């Protein structure tokens, strides 16, 4: 499944890049395969459970551009300005942290609502879609300890679906001559929201995102 899914998206992304359509298709593919996982009923993930929303997330430019588009569509100008301010403030705190330091900081994602739900759930990054857990207790313990997730059981099918679609997209971006980098989520979203014509420029191969920080483990620094 994983290789076929990656190949499908590599082929799709090599066409002239229809940014929003491609992002929607990528998210739908992850959902479709994730929904078919045989162990789906074992997942502990529920509305209002947000332990993983304090961890590092990385995205392609495509995912950031899609979310930026949906935020612009959903928010009145003042509300959008407030969101951008919040994303910028969170980015300043977390974008340059290692995976381990990000978890230890226990800073919530800027899109996490006060009720523990993602305020942009239908448009959330592929990595957020792929991460599931079979134990909310282990997730809670990892967050309380400031650790980057737990090593307990999760749904490997959902994880593979998100990873395969991301890999396929990145292969297609490289083939199309556009930046295929994976960047820290808040930094990328902020850039997508504030850079004029970010989608058009990125899809023409301009380096709109390429100076942004990447999510790395402290073992690699
Ligand atoms: S984008 Fe949504 S699901 Fe992903 S970390 Fe942020 S609040 Fe959580």
The reported pLDDT for the residue numbered 14 is 66
Q: Do residues 23 and 169 lie in contact, with contact meaning Cβ atoms separated by under 8 Å?
A: no
Q: Do residues 64 and 190 lie in contact, with contact meaning Cβ atoms separated by under 8 Å?
A: no
| Nearest CA, atom 4, ligand 1 | 128
Ligand 1 pocket, Cβ-based, cut-off 6 angstroms: 53, 57, 109, 111-112, 118, 124-125, 128
- Report the separation in Å between the CA atom of 62 and the middle of ligand 1, taken as the mean of its atom positions: 16
Alpha-carbon distances of 209 from 60, 193, 212, rounded to whole Å: 9, 12, 6
- Report the separation in Å between the CA atom of 156 and the middle of ligand 1, taken as the mean of its atom positions: 19
Q: What is the largest CA-CA distance in the chain?
A: 46
The domain ranges of the chain are 2-206
pTM for the model stands at 0.94
47-104 residue pLDDT tens? 999 999 999 999 999 999 999 999 999 999 999 999 999 999 999 999 999 999 999 9
Mutate to test the pocket of ligand 1, among 53, 70, 126, 132 (most ligand atoms within 8 A of CB): 53
Percent of the chain's residues with pLDDT above 70: 96
Q: Do residues 153 and 134 lie in contact, with contact meaning Cβ atoms separated by under 8 Å?
A: yes
């Amino acid at each position: 499944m994983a290789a076929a899914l990656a190949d499908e998206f590599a082929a799709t992304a090599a066409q002239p890049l229809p940014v929003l359509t491609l992002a929607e298709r990528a998210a739908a593919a992850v959902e479709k395969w994730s929904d078919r996982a045989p162990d789906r009923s074992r997942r502990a993930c529920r509305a209002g459970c947000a332990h993983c929303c304090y961890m590092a997330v990385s995205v392609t430019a495509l995912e950031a551009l899609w979310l930026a588009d949906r935020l612009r569509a959903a928010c009145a100008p003042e509300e959008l300005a407030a969101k951008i301010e919040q994303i910028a403030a969170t980015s300043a705190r977390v974008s340059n942290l290692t995976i381990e330091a990000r978890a230890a900081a226990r800073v919530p994602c800027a899109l996490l609502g006060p009720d523990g739900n993602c305020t942009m759930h239908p448009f959330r990054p592929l990595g957020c879609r792929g991460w599931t857990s079979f134990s909310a207790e282990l997730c809670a313990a990892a967050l309380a300890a400031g650790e980057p997730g737990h090593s307990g059981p999760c749904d490997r099918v959902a994880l593979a679906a998100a990873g395969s679609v991301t890999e396929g997209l990145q292969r297609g971006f490289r083939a199309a001559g556009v930046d295929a980098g994976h960047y820290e989520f808040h930094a990328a979203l902020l850039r997508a929201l504030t850079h004029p014509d970010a989608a058009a420029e990125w899809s023409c191969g301009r380096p709109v995102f390429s100076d942004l920080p990447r999510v790395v483990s402290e073992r690699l620094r």
